[in-house]
Amino acid sequence: MPGPDLDSILAGAAERFGTPAYIYLTDAIETRLTELRASLGAWFDVSYAMKCNPNPALLAWLAPRVDLIDVSSGGEFALACAAGWQAQRASFTGPAKRDDELRAVIAGGLGELVIESPREARAADRIAAELGVVQPVLIRLAPDRVPKGFGDHMAGRPSPFGIDIEDAPVALPQILALPNLHVIGLHIYSGTQCLRPDAIAENWRIYMQIFRETCATHDLMPQKLVFGAGLGIPYHPGDTALSLPQIAADIGPDLNAFRNEPRFSRTKLVLELGRFLVGEAGYFVTRVISTKSSRGSRLAICDGGMNAHLAASGNFGMVLRRNYVIHKIGGGDEVEKVDISGPLCTSIDKIGGAVLLPPLAEGDLIAIHTSGAYGPTASPLHFISHPTPREILVEGAQARDVTRIA
């Protein structure tokens, strides 16, 4: 369970800046980066998928510490550049890129455009020609299978993401022939939120086999290959955190053999990830407004709920709702079951069901763990027009309000 130092930080931020609030601890992100590089840095650079948390202050903090950034819209590209990321360090993924976005990122010096379809490639080629440039691109491929153990599959089934591997023999020559695009490599991201090291390793073996076969077929000497990480984090009680050393021990020999092949000896391998880097560094803190007993259950009604933290309510891609790890700030010895609701006038605004916590009273603070990814920007903040949550960045002992959305 959390210690007094964490509770002191969370309570202090809540008192100073108000609730509900997201609190991001940069020390935890620094530790995670160190762990990643110690286990996987011999093979991979790291790319931050900013869709999971695009807070500008967090982006600025990450800029000197992470190799690359992946954006998923023209708006994210502008945010990243404004936060200090050089355009050439960015890639741009997404299945429905508009012409105005393509024009803005190509004109802005985007590092790599990740091509998701021949239609998109033709649009990018036309716009690059109009701008008088040749745009570096990665072609995104969708494998025909994903190992069991991934929370979300983006391949192996009908998907808007990338070019199905079975369609690649026809699609890739069309893209390679476009004169204003320079294909510098390939990209695969086929599954997310996996807590099984063996499944992670097997997924990356699938990637390597596809990279081998595709590059041989089309005589590509890739400058860059992007491995969609799929690394999960332990959201729920009972989840087991991933062991990075175990992944490295399993996949390391395969990666070494891959890098020793002449075709890939100079290729930069990139691990694209988001929640694994920042998710466990964030806490959502909400204050109890009232408590009641209702038909045999205890209820705590808080100032932040589904409107501020959609994922914790179970309405962000969760098939069966499960509680996040939650604790009462300040603790207590006795525990009881309590249902935790937010302020909305809807029965689905529940952020905890039958949670075992010390008895809650008006004014108490609770913290929802693993809230550093898919928080404010993934939530219906303006539903019923309650105040939007604060975003607080804590660097060492210093906390500051970095709220983006008013």
List residues with catalytic annotation: 345
At 324 the three-state DSSP class reads coil
d(Cα 236, Cα 71) in Å, to the nearest integer?
A: 28
Amino acid at 242: L
Angle at 282 between CA 277 and CA 284, to 5 degrees: 150
Type and span of the H or E element at 10: helix 4-17
DSSP for residue 359:
P
Amino acid at 318: M
Say which residues have a Cβ less than 8 Å from residue 401's Cβ, sequence separation at least 6: 17, 390, 391, 392
Of 358, 371, 260, 258, which is closest to residue 308 (Cα–Cα)? Answer: 371
- Per DSSP, what are the bridge partners of residue 399? 394
Q: In terms of DSSP bridges, do strands 90-92 and 297-302 run parallel, antiparallel, or are they unpaired?
A: unpaired
Token pair 């701008």 is at which residue?
131
- Per DSSP, what are the bridge partners of residue 114? 138
DSSP for residue 247:
H
Amino acid at 135: Q
Residues in the chain: 406
Give how far Cα 157 sits from Cα of 142, 144, 214, 259, 392, Å. 9, 7, 20, 30, 39
Angle at 139 between CA 134 and CA 144, to 5 degrees: 170
Token pair 């763990």 is at which residue?
369
Is the separation of the CB atoms in 19 and 406 below 8 Å? Answer: no
Buried b / exposed e across 88-108, counting CB within 10 Å, b at 16+?
ebbbbbbeebeeebbbbbbee
d(Cα 74, Cα 400) in Å, to the nearest integer?
A: 28
Structure tokens of 164? Answer: 């199905």
